[in-house]
Each structure stands twice: as C-alpha cells, then as structure tokens.
Structure 1
Amino acid sequence: MNLGLTILKGRRSVRKYKDEEIPGEIIKAALEAAHLAPTARNLQPWLFGVIKEKETLKKIAETAPNGAFIKDANACFAIFGEKDQTYYLEDCSAATMQIILALWSFGVGSCWVAGDKKDYANEIRKMMGVPEKYTLVSLIPAGYPEEINIPSKKDLEDLVFYETYTEN
C-alpha cells in the first residue's frame, strides 16, 4: 500500500489529547497543506486561524456545543470562508480535510467540528476578530492522541455502484 493510502486509512477522529505541544513546523505544514487545497476558479476564499491559548480554547469549547473537547486540544484551527463566494463551503471543506490529513501524517490527531450555519459561528468569528465578510466553516481541534476509537464502517460493496444504481 502506498503512503497516501496508509495515511487515509489510518486517520480517525480524535477527541482525547495528550498534554503535549504541537511543534510550530507541524502547524505550519498543516497550514501549507490547507493553502494548497483545490478551490473553484482558484479564488481561495478563506482565512485560517490557529488558537493555542488555553483560555481561548476553553471559550470556544463553551461556545460550540459539539466541541466541548476543544478545551483539551493543544491547538485548534478555525477555517473561515468568504460568504459571498458561491463555493466557499466546498473550498473550505477541501482545506479542512487537507489540514486533518496533514496533521495525521505527523501523528497528530484531530476532529472536524462543524461551523457552517451553526448558531455559534458568528460568535466565534467575533471572538477571533475576523471581518464580517467571512463565516466560520469548521473548527479542527488537534493534539497527540491519548485515545483513538476505531468505529466500524459499512462494507464498501454496500456503498458503491457502477454506471447505474440498482437495489440488491
């Protein structure tokens, strides 16, 4: 199996982190990966924020109901998209996944926390001082895994069809 597929197959959502700092070069590599994500018409309608201060991580965790574990992360990436761009959601989702995979390639776990159209998106945007033309698309808390859960997946054969779909 090639390295890329090994990374893809090994990645899991991680919500429990060791108290161990993520080196700056890993954070930078993840941001570079996001910057290289594909975008419609190469507009790159995004901003990438990085939060490492424990107090700010705690505030974000308290604000995002599905992200209570953010408080325990060593860093959290916040992906914002220009809301007047037609494909901001797709573009920022691609950047989100690039960050997640880049982090995992260094052994750093993460978990995608939704932001787009969530009640807390505007509050987090304001908390981070991001201009109003942007909207929060995702939060990516990250850290070295303390625990990894391996959920079961559906059989591939139950999810794939070729040419046209038929009921089995």
Structure 2
Amino acid sequence: MNLGTTIIKGRRSIRNYKDEPVPLEVIEQAMECARLAPTARNGQPWLFGFTETKETLEKLGELASHGKFIAGAPICFAIFGLRDEKFYVEDCSAATQNLILGLWAYGVSSCWVAGDKMDYNEEVRKLMNVPPEYTLVSLIPAGYPAIGERMVPPQKKSFDDVTFKETFQD
C-alpha cells in the first residue's frame, strides 16, 4: 500500500473526541483539500465554514437529528452548495470526502453528518449566517479520538460482492 491508500483505508467514523483543539494549520490544510475536490465543469459551487464556539456546536448538536454528538466536538465544519447548480450535491460530497481525508491525514477523526434534504438544513444555514443561495450539504464534526474510542474497522462487503468487470454477471 502507498500513503494515500493507507490514509483512505484507515479512516473511521468517530463520534467521541478529546477536549483538545485542532490546530489552525490542520484546519486550513483540510479545507484546502476540500477546495481542490473535482467538480462538474469546474463549477466549484461551494462554501466551506467551521465553528469552534461551544455555543454554536451545542446548537448544531440540537438541530442535527443524527448528529447530537456534534455538541461534544472541538470543531465542526459545514459544507454548503449553491442550490441552483445542477451538481452541487455531487460536487460538495467530493469536497466533504476530501476534507475528511485531509483531517485524517493529520490524525484528526470525524464523522459525516447529512445536511442536504434534512429538516434542519435551513436553520443551520441561518445559524452560520450563510447567504440564502447556498444550502447545507454536510456537517463534519471533528477532533482527536477520545481514549478508548473503537478504531476497529466496520464490517464491509467483500471486494467481489461489490465489483464487476465490463458487465455485471449474477
């Protein structure tokens, strides 16, 4: 394996974090990774933000139906897409994955929390004072894994069960 595949294969969704800030250099490098994600027609229909403010993290945790643990994270990133762009979900999803892998390359754990099509989408946009032409695609709480956090890989389908060459054969 090379460094890139080692990083990708080692990443896990983590929901419990140490009470330790993520250095600004790591934040900026991860956001730079997000910014460099591929997009349809090079549209780059996104806006990336983050918060480290405890009050905002707690409010995000209250709003996100499957992200209550955001309240305990030292930082949460938010990725917004231009709602009128045809491929904003795909483009912002690529950026989200780049952000997550950029964080993991520095040993910072995270967990993808859905934003697009969620009831709290508009409330998060307003909370973070994002212009109305953008819509929330993802929230990424992050931090260093808490002591005892399970880093065991989840059970995944086998390679042969999810791949095919040329045409699919039953």
TM-score range, shorter chain: over 0.9
Q: Deviations over 1:24-78 (max 9, x none)?
A: 0000000111111111111111110111001100000000110000011110000
**SS of residue matched to 1:165:** coil
Q: Report the Cα offset of residue 148 of structure 1.
A: 2.9
Aligned position for 2:150? 148
Q: Which moved more, 1:60-69 or 1:151-160?
A: 151-160
TM-score, normalised on structure 1? 0.97
1:49 aligns with 2:49: yes
Superposition deviation, residue 158 in structure 1: 1.0
1:113·1:139 contact (CA, 8 Å) conserved in 2? Answer: yes
- The answer on 1:61 being equivalent to 2:70 is no
- Alpha carbons 1:76, 1:141 under 8 Å: kept: yes
The runs of 5 or more residues in structure 1 that have no matched partner are none
RMSD, aligned α-carbons: 0.8
CA distance in 2, matches of 1:28, 1:164: 42
Alignment of 1:69-148 (within 5 A): 69-146=69-146, 147-148=149-150
Q: Structure 2 length as normaliser, TM-score?
A: 0.96
Provide the C-alpha distance between the structure 2 equivalents of 1:102 and 1:30, rounded to a whole number of angstroms: 4
AA partner of residue 150 (structure 2) = I
Q: Distance in 1 between matches of 2:55 and 2:71?
A: 8
Counterpart residue number, 1:159:
162
Aligned length: 167
1: CA distance between counterparts of 2:150 and 2:7? 15
Check whether the contact 1:37–1:98 (CA below 8 A) recurs between aligned residues.
yes
Instruction: Give, as a single letter, the amino acid of the residue that structure 1 aligns with 2:33.
Output: A
Tell me, what secondary structure is at the counterpart of 2:67? Answer: helix
Following superposition, the deviation at residue 110 of structure 1 comes to: 0.3
Letter in 1 for 2:155: S
CA distance in 2, matches of 1:163, 1:130: 44
